[in-house]
Amino acid sequence: MSTAGPARSLNELRAEDGAARNKARYTKGQPSWFLAIEGPTGAGKSTLVRRLSRWLDVQLMFDPFEANPFLSMPYTGDQGDSMRGLDLATELTFLALRITQLREIDTRLKAGSAVLADWALLKQSIFAGLTLGAVGRQRMVRTCAVWCRGLPDPDLLIYLRAGSTTLRERITRRRRAIEAGVSDEHLKRLIDEYDCEMARYSRSVLTVDADRLDVFDDRSVEAVVERIRLRLPPSPVGTSRG
Ligand SMILES: Nc1ncnc2c1ncn2[C@@H]1O[C@H](COP(=O)(O)OP(=O)(O)OP(=O)(O)O)[C@@H](O)[C@H]1O
Ligand SMILES: [Mg+2]
């Protein structure tokens, strides 16, 4: 089985209407930034989002993954045969939950609030590739492009890049039952998939080395805040709480 046409990334499909959409948002006097953090499971996205909120005047949005009733084995990298039929349902339910949240983010941006999320849509493509294979991934990319048309993309994506040792340590520390069976092979594949997807991402990206980031140290987080500010276009929206 093959997909129609060459494989295209979600970013490429989204780029077609994205630039005009964001420009319209700013020129209408709604220059509220949409920031998102991405990276593999356990890299520290949610933790960094919470820490950054001390310095950035942003509304926080968290990946609604726990609301997915289909969430199970595919995300541990251990796919028993009995679970395969659920993979598509899992991915499509994630998409529905994330579209719902993107609509909420869109509403908040239009109301003038800046938003910081601990996820971005590109993870749909990455995880669909892991659970559904290359053909399923392409279908997911095209489905995302259809359903998310008109919804905002991050003005700046913060890529929290971590090695497998770091991921393993952090996943072990938080002790989520569902992650008990995550293999090193799965973590390495996830890291590779993130690296590939980020290499193809053409919008604004700030890469942060999660292996070296001491997220509980104020100075380290302040340094990330400085790097974020340098990457954002000038905005009349205040981003400092001191
Ligand atoms: N820079 C860091 N140094 C040490 N520990 C960290 C760091 N960042 C996060 N942690 C710890 O690692 C664990 C995982 O972090 P977190 O839940 O933020 O990851 P995540 O990227 O949001 O994961 P997921 O993709 O599953 O949502 C938590 O216990 C957190 O306290
Ligand atoms: Mg998280």
Among all ligands shown, which has an atom nearest to the Cα of 39?
A: 1
Residue 193 has what pLDDT? 97
Using one digit for the tens of pLDDT, what is the confidence trace for 117-137?
A: 999 999 999 999 999 999 999
Distance between first and last Cα of the chain? 56
What is the value of pTM for the model shown? 0.85
Q: Which two tokens stand for residue 77?
A: 């990298």
Give the residue whose CA is nearest to atom 7 of ligand 1. Answer: 44
Residue 236 has what pLDDT? 40
Query: Which residues hold their Cβ within 5 A of ligand 2, which is an ion?
Result: 45-46
Q: Are 139 and 18 in contact (CB under 8 A)?
A: no
Closest atom of ligand 1 relative to the 63 alpha carbon? 27
Q: What is the mean pLDDT of residues 201-228?
A: 96
**pLDDT for 30 beyond 50:** no
Is 42's C-beta closer than 6 angstroms to any atom of ligand 1?
yes
Residue 237 has what pLDDT? 42
Instruction: Report which of residues 102 and 71 the model is more confident about.
Output: 102
Compute the distance between CA of residue 159 and CA of residue 40 in angstroms, rounded to an integer.
9
Q: For the chain, what percent of residues have pLDDT higher than 70? A: 81
Q: What is the mean pLDDT of residues 167-186?
A: 91
Main-chain dihedrals φ then ψ at residue 113, nearest 5 degrees: -90, 145
What average pLDDT does the chain have? 85
Q: What is the mean pLDDT of residues 47-72?
A: 90
Q: What is the mean pLDDT of residues 88-94?
A: 93
| Weakest-pLDDT range from 33-42, 44-53, 58-67, 190-199 | 58-67
Question: 214: buried, middle or exposed (CB in 10 Å: 19+, 13-18, 0-12)?
Answer: exposed
Which one, of 143, 106, 120, 96, lies nearest residue 198 by Cα?
120
Compute the distance between CA of residue 154 and CA of residue 162 in angstroms, rounded to an integer.
21
**pLDDT for 3 beyond 60:** no
Count other Cβ atoms within 10 Å, centred on residue 197: 19
> Which amino acid belongs to residue 208?
V
Closest atom of ligand 1 relative to the 40 alpha carbon? 25
Is 174's C-beta closer than 6 angstroms to any atom of ligand 1?
yes
Compute the distance between CA of residue 20 and CA of residue 210 in angstroms, rounded to an integer.
33
Helix (H) or strand (E) holding 135: helix 122-147
